Amino acid sequence: MVNSLDDLKDKLAKVIVLILVVMFFEAAIYLKPSQPIELLYYAVGIALVGLALWLTNMAFTKPQKDTSTLEKPEV
C-alpha cells in the first residue's frame, strides 16, 4: 500500500528496474556469441544486472529497529 509520495516513487523505481532487467534478458536470448569475448561481455552484463538488483534492494529497504539493544523492563 502506498502511504506517501516517496513510497510511490520507490515502487515506480522498482518497476522500472525490473522492466529494464526483463528487456536485457529478452535481448540476450537472441545473442549468438561468435567469439569468447562476447560470452564474457554477456557474463559481465548478467553480473551487473545482479548488482543493480542488489543495490536497488538495499536502497529501498527500510531500516529495521534493533530491538536487541533495548533495555528490558525489570519485573
pLDDT in tens, 24-48: 999 888 888 899 999 999 999 999 9
**Is 71 among the domain residues?**
no
Provide the grid cell at 67.
530491538
pLDDT in tens, 51-62: 988 988 888 776
List the domain range (segments joined by +) for residue 9.
5-58
User: What does the alpha-carbon distance between residue 23 and residue 3 come to, in Å, rounded to a whole number?
Assistant: 30
Rg (CA), the chain: 20
| Per-residue model confidence (pLDDT) at position 14 | 87
Question: Would 75 be classed as within a structural domain?
Answer: no
Residue 67 is assigned to a structural domain of this protein:
no
Residue 70 has pLDDT above 80, yes or no: no
* Assigned domain for 27 exists: yes
pTM over 0.95: no
Within-domain flag for 43: yes
Q: Does 68 map to a domain?
A: no
User: How many structural domains is the chain composed of?
Assistant: 1
Whole-number Å distance between alpha carbons of 61 and 38: 35
**Amino acid present at 38:** E
- Sorted by sequence, the CB contacts under 8 Å of residue 71 that are 6+ apart come out as none
pLDDT at 37: 93
Q: Is residue 42 part of a domain?
A: yes
